[in-house]
Amino acid sequence: MLMSQLCQLALRFASRPYVARSGSTLVFAPHPDDETLGCGALIARKRNGGHAVHVVFFTDGAASHPSHPRVTASEIAAIRAQEARRVLAILGVDSTAIHFLNEADGTLNRLNSASRVALVARTTALLDTLQPAEIFLPSHADGSSEHEAAFHFVAEAVARSQRDAAIWEYPVWLWWNPLTLLAQIVKTTGRYRVPTEDFLDVKRHALFRYRSQLAPLPPQSEPALPRDLLRLIDTEAEYFFHSTLLEARPSGSARPVI
């Protein structure tokens, strides 16, 4: 925890203010809650400014409570989808801008060839249809096999679509892996921050609606998400890395941070 806090302090001083591009934003999340953990205040800020935001969930989130004695995986998936809709409504995202790909949670890093091709095709189709100016996706080294697999699916889809978009990696479990986080801070020159300011309360309010993840699901006594991870994320800024693996071509009009 202390090492992660020190990394966060280093990142605060090593980052620059984020400058948005005009146009719509597309946020990719491996599971329902990653979008709010990683960029909930950013989403709320953009929507408050009248900017279009779409959110894509890769998996159904059904593996968050493995072998739970009272709730089945399909029931958990339904709960998490319902929570996601409520959370994104609080952040200001239209229901028509929420996209569930419903891949089985826990399988993204071991899909067979046919399933992988199909998922990349669906992701590419979304990029072609939505034509985002900015793409936010989990860090390529986030410390979760699902998050890292999601990154590579988006990477392949972007290459196929040839979208001219600014691409940003957001940390979630990377906060839990301070040595990896420190390595990314050192290696990446494109480090940016967005102040949460008035939108931190909105983010907190929204995140609280992910009750299945933040509160123990009886008879279990511990929540799915570690409380210390939430403390690391509940800060005065959200941080993003300009993707070093998916270099976007510079274009579009920049404007002051929204």
The tokens describing 62, both together, are 């059904």
Which parts of 2-98 fold into alpha helices (H)? 2-14, 34-48, 73-91
Residue 205's alpha-carbon distances to 35, 40, 46, 65, 92, in angstroms, are 14, 10, 17, 23, 12
Q: pLDDT per position in the chain (258 positions), as tens?
A: 788 889 899 999 999 999 999 999 999 999 999 999 999 999 999 999 999 999 999 999 999 999 899 999 999 999 999 999 999 999 999 999 999 999 999 999 999 999 999 999 999 999 999 999 999 999 999 999 999 999 999 999 999 998 789 999 999 999 999 999 999 999 888 999 999 999 999 999 999 999 999 999 999 999 999 999 999 999 999 999 998 666 544 333 333 333
> What Rg do the C-alpha atoms of the chain give, in angstroms?
17
Per-residue confidence (pLDDT) for residue 247, from 0 to 100: 53
d(CA 72, CA 68): 7
CATH architecture of 2-242: 3-Layer(aba) Sandwich (3.40)
d(CA 158, CA 43): 21
d(CA 110, CA 91): 32
pTM above 0.75, yes or no: yes
Per-residue confidence (pLDDT) for residue 253, from 0 to 100: 36
d(CA 167, CA 165): 6
Residues in the chain: 258
Per-residue confidence (pLDDT) for residue 82, from 0 to 100: 98
155 touches 47 (CB < 8 A): no
